Amino acid sequence: MTSEHQLPRLDKEAGGTSGGLIPQEYLCPGAKQAAPDPRLVREIAAFLEKNQMFGGLPVWVASDLPIILNVPVQKYLHAFANSKNFQASLARSGRYLPMMRRIFAEHGLPQGLIYIALVESGFSPYARSPKEAVGIWQFIEATARRYGLKVNDRVDERQDPEKSTRAAARYLHDLYQQFGCWYLSAAGYNAGENRVEGVMNRHDIQDFWIMAQKKLLPAETCNYVPQIVAAALIAQNPEKYGMAPVRYQAPRAGDRVKVPGGVNLAAFAEALEMPEKELVELNPELKAGVTPSDQHEYLLNVPAKKVRQAKRLAHLCLQKQTRAEVK
């Protein structure tokens, strides 16, 4: 018997198929689901109707990312809803969501996949893993370079929120072209597409949840996908899951201005009469707080209210640099 505040189990194993509760068109190619269990459907519907924390949400939640309330997802719904770190990450997401939503829409990606960034880094451009994955999207250096991000001793564009988001969107698009399934695409993002492809070929399995149930993928990956699904679900309306209202940080309001190479951010910020910290935070990819000296020009992020002033200052700097080069 299901307790009053515990979601009904969708199957006997900690994974498995969807029990007929998910529209077939949203399953991975080749995946099969058992016939619906009417008793289970009624039990889940009654639970969701009774418990306000779910606000009567159906088992299939309206979303452009497939949402399935199986046991692994339930586990992270409860864990995240009670996590201060999760709430802090949601608050931080406010800085980047408008930009990320725009870029994901341009690439035809489900908006729910944005929450890969929450699972990967908590939406922090300064995140660094023991495996040397860096930035909001936690790119390792080889993958970053493959998708056009610069990584050298002066610049690490894995820490540039917009550029790294564009790279992540292209990578996820390529993964979907390869697998035709968003669950497998997310698994490939975590474990690498070659590993996922290898499991599919060796075991003739096209369903991520079966792979996870059989422990054919790393434990990290088996947990990773349900974490994304749970994060995307809670993010739609955190208060329905018992969370306190999220105070989202204000979106980054700014624009890129062409400045000369070798510009010191501290000096530039002083000339703009703004805090150095604010300018540095807008340009986390610059390792030493200086625009690359080997580039004639660099697109620097500045606050929206400082764009005109920054353009004038940059023009003066470029004129000074040109005169010095002529001499």
Q: What are phi and psi of 74, to 5 degrees?
A: -55, -45
Residue 307's pLDDT is: 93
pTM of the model: 0.80
pLDDT value at residue 143: 97
Token pair listed for 326: 């002529």
| Model confidence pLDDT, tens digit, residues 275-317 | 999 999 999 999 999 999 888 899 999 999 999 999 999 988 8
Task: Kindly tell me if the per-residue pLDDT of 146 is higher than 70.
Answer: yes
pLDDT at 112: 93
Give pLDDT, residue 319: 73
Q: How confident is the model at residue 48 (pLDDT cuts 50, 70, 90)?
A: very low
Integer-rounded Cα radius of gyration of the chain: 23
Evaluate if residue 123 carries a pLDDT over 50.
yes
Contact indicator for 66, 26 with CB cutoff of 8 Å: yes
Lowest mean per-residue pLDDT among 39-43, 77-81, 264-268, 296-300: 39-43
Question: Tokens in use for 222?
Answer: 């088996």
Tens-digit pLDDT profile for residues 243-267: 999 999 999 878 999 999 999 999 9
Assigned token pair, 320: 């000074």
Instruction: Check whether 161 has a pLDDT greater than 70.
Output: yes
pLDDT computed for residue 43 by the predictor: 52
pLDDT of residue 322: 52
Q: What is the pLDDT of residues 170-211, one digit of tens each?
A: 999 999 999 999 999 999 999 999 999 999 999 999 999 999
Cross-strand pairs, 125? none
Specify whether the CB–CB gap between 233 and 61 falls below 8 A: yes
Is pLDDT above 90 for 39?
no
The rounded distance, in Å, linking the Cα atoms of 153 and 159 is 13
On the question of pLDDT at 157 being above 90, the answer is yes
pLDDT category of residue 68 using cuts at 50, 70 and 90 = confident
The confidence band for 98, taking pLDDT boundaries of 50, 70 and 90, is very high
pLDDT of residue 40: 46
Q: For CATH 1.10.530.10, list the domain ranges present in the chain.
A: 7-252
Separation of alpha carbons 293 and 281, rounded Å: 20
Among 68-72, 131-135, 146-150, 287-291, which is the least confidently predicted range? 68-72
pLDDT in tens, 15-34: 333 333 333 333 454 444 44
Residue 91 has pLDDT above 70, yes or no: yes
Return the structure tokens found at 309: 């002033």
Position 41 scores a pLDDT of 45
Strand partners, 302: 255
Q: How confident is the model at residue 44 (pLDDT cuts 50, 70, 90)?
A: very low
Confidence band of 46 (pLDDT split at 50, 70, 90): low
Residue 259 backbone zone (phi > 0: left; psi -120 to 50: alpha; other: beta): beta
Whole-number percent of the chain with pLDDT over 90:
69
Residue 273: HSE in the Cβ half-sphere, 13 Å Cα cutoff: 3
pLDDT at 23: 38
More confident residue, 110 or 252: 110
Q: Per residue, what are the HEC states of the chain?
A: CCCCCCCCCCCCCCCCCCCCCCCHHHCCCCCCCCCCCHHHHHHHHHHHHHCHHHCCCCCCCCCCCCCCCCHHHHHHHHHHHCCHHHHHHHHHHCCCHHHHHHHHHHCCCCHHHHHHHHHHHCCCCCCECCCCCECCCCECHHHHHHCCCCECCCEEHHHCHHHHHHHHHHHHHHHHHHHCCHHHHHHHHHHCHHHHHHHHHHHCCCCHHHHHHCCCCCHHHHHHHHHHHHHHHHHHCHHHHCCCCCCCCCCCCEEEEEEECCCEHHHHHHHCCCCHHHHHHHCCCECCCECCCCCCEEEEEEEHHHHHHHHHHHHHHHHHHHHHHHC
Nearest to 285 by CA among 104, 163, 171: 163
pLDDT at res. 32: 42
CATH no. of 7-252: 1.10.530.10
Exposed e or buried b for every residue in 233-251, given b needs 16+ CB within 10 A? Answer: bbbeebebbebeebeeeee
